[in-house]
Amino acid sequence: MLNALEAARTWSVRRFAVASSLGVYVGRPENPWTEDLSLPSVGLPHLIIAFKKAVEPLTTHGLAGSGVEPVVLRIGTIRGPLVDPESPFCPIPRLVNAASPPPDVHAGGGDVCYAAGRGRAIALLTTAPKLNHEVYNVSSGRPFMYGEFASALGVTLQPGGSNGPYLDITRLTEDTGLEPQFDVAASVADYLKWREDNDR
């Protein structure tokens, strides 16, 4: 991370984007989570989230006065191609991989976003002529229930499960003009097509 920041300063790049996480909001009671919320000082559930929370001020302070524009991307839970089938953050890959629905996956849900759609969002944030903020939520902008994905796969989940918070993406859409590309059915079809030639 420090080497990348030094390279950005040395080469005088226009913009430097760093991948943070929706997990930085853990401890906030609001729903949805917006970028203007102050980040709470709480114990974090995973080392990855702790590191991503730490890189936010490292990036903004490390580039201060350098002429390099920092942009912090608070990315939602990714699903789709190349996602770890055993991801502790999202049960959707296990729905696709299993012959029958995993018994511990319920119909609840929260913030998830399809990899291809979020890749497009990140590309727009790194290439937009002008950004009005340093911090952007990058996700689908609405809560998804795992039962929706199960239905698209033709399976039924156990009822219940909690509905977690999700990311508001108003800043993202206003500053990039991003339009949704994948609803649940389209994303499941795209992922299954990709899986025909790929293990993950």
pLDDT per residue of the chain (200 residues) written in tens, 0 to 9? 999 999 999 999 999 999 999 999 999 999 999 999 999 888 877 888 899 999 999 999 999 999 999 999 999 988 888 887 777 777 777 777 665 666 666 777 788 888 888 889 999 999 999 999 999 999 989 887 777 777 877 777 777 666 788 999 999 999 999 987 888 888 888 888 888 888 76
Element (H or E) spanning 15, and its range?
strand 15-21
pTM above 0.85, yes or no: yes
CB atoms within 10 A of CB 27: 11
CA of 42: how far to CAs of 26, 27, 33, 50, in Å? 8, 7, 16, 10
Q: What is the DSSP letter of 40?
A: P
Rounded Cα distance, 185 and 153, in Å: 9
Q: What is the CA 4 to chain-centroid distance, rounded?
A: 21
Question: Is residue 145 within 8 Å of residue 129, measured between CB atoms?
Answer: no
The first and second tokens of residue 87, run together, are 């991801």
